[in-house]
Amino acid sequence: MSDSSNTSVGPDKFHYSRPLDWSPTNDLPNLKGKVGIVTGGNSLDSIGGNIVHQLALLGAKVYVGGRSSERVEHGIHSILTTSPSLAPANLVPFVADLSNWTQVKQRAEQFLQEETRLDFLINNGGVWTDDLDINEFGVNADLAVNHIAHFVLTQTLPPLLSKTALSSSTPKNAVRIVNVSSNAHSIIPQPTSFATLADWNNDFGGKQNQWSPAFRYGFSKAANILFTKELQRRLDAEDVPIVVTAPHPGSILTTGFAKVVGVDTEEWKNSLPASQGALTPLWCAVSEQVDDTCKGRYIMPFGVVAENTEFCDDETEAKNLWRVTEEVLGSAKLL
């Protein structure tokens, strides 16, 4: 059995917009010499670990994100055990707790000292929380981890992302930022807004509403899409040729998903394995099919530009999100 055989799938039982008519081994380019970062990459039972695995099999050097050295080393060990042919030096720990933005910034600054290029940043790490859980800077846990930590990375790493993108040896559209989102962005009841911190901490009915955790999670995934669009607008305005996308990975059997839907439930049975959840983010990060039409777009499995909700197309909301994010990071002295 080849290393990548678990991603060559059978029928597309979910009728996603694009059938799974490709595989990483046959259809993604060789990545020798490329360098990437994947947050939340510490487990093969999750989407991120499988993204790391496939990128490494394609030859990339991958920085493996996770909240502790132990968890990241354990993840790297499982990948090397699954694929002993991989060079251990190509899997490098990127330890930072995404709920601790200072740690995230410091690790990203260290990366700038360690590497001379950055070809893809995959902002995949994420949480779904039971409670609002507001931190010392006034931000709930879903938005703190799923949005702000990745904003910090994306604002700290531009020296290398831009240098790589602007290098004469880098092909057009080869440098990518991938903000892993979700179709859950579409479930949030309207009206909502990102105009103020009070809006950010919308509890959607709290304990009185069983859907409150899902709505808060969906709201953070809407933030991923709005951030993607605003970041792309800003990069385009500065003529920095980086493609930013917000993929939905599909309905995927992972550690996180199991906590939400339970094991052996209908949702559980009707989901795809974690290896297949890696495919759409991978496509966004390295496929040569990604072109100008993908810039700033929501991407559905298994690699097709799709429509997102009207709320996520609202430029005012994208600017609100950016402004309040900067205000929060200013108060945390991280800007």
Ligand X SMILES: NC(=O)c1ccc[n+]([C@@H]2O[C@H](COP(=O)([O-])OP(=O)(O)OC[C@H]3O[C@@H](n4cnc5c(N)ncnc54)[C@H](OP(=O)(O)O)[C@@H]3O)[C@@H](O)[C@H]2O)c1
Which residues are at the interface with ligand X (CB under 6 A)? Answer: 40, 42-43, 46-48, 66-67, 71, 97-99, 124-127, 145, 180, 182, 248-249, 251-252, 254-257, 277
Catalytic site includes residue 217: yes
Residue 140 DSSP class: B
Cβ at position 86, least distance to ligand X in Å: 19
Q: What is the DSSP string of 41-88?
A: -S-TTSHHHHHHHHHHHTT-EEEEEESSHHHHHHHHHHHHHH-TTS-G
CB of residue 30 to ligand X, shortest distance in Å: 26
Q: Cα(19)–Cα(17) distance, rounded to whole angstroms?
A: 7
Of all residues in the shown chain, the one whose CB is closest to ligand X is 256
Minimum CB distance to ligand X smaller for 199 or for 267: 267
Q: If you search the block for the tokens 């039971």, which residue do you land on?
A: 130
Q: Which is it for strands 252-253 and 61-66: parallel, antiparallel or unpaired?
A: unpaired
Q: Name the residue nearer to ligand X (CB basis): 164 or 280.
A: 280
Q: Which SS3 state, helix, strand or coil, does residue 310 take?
A: coil
The token duo for 70 is 């132990």
Residue 77 CB, nearest approach to ligand X (Å): 14
CB of 67 to ligand X, least distance (A): 4
Nearer to ligand X, 97 or 236 (CB): 97
Instruction: State in angstroms the smallest separation of the CB of 32 from ligand X.
Output: 26
Which residue, 140 or 182, has its beta carbon nearer to ligand X? Answer: 182
Contact 275, 6 (CB under 8 A): yes
Type of residue found at 332? A
Nearest CA to 127 among 94, 155, 99? 99
Cis peptide before 191 (omega within 30 of 0): yes
Q: Which of 120/257 has CB closer to ligand X?
A: 257
Set 16, 63, 217, 298: catalytic member? 217
Catalytic residue list: 217
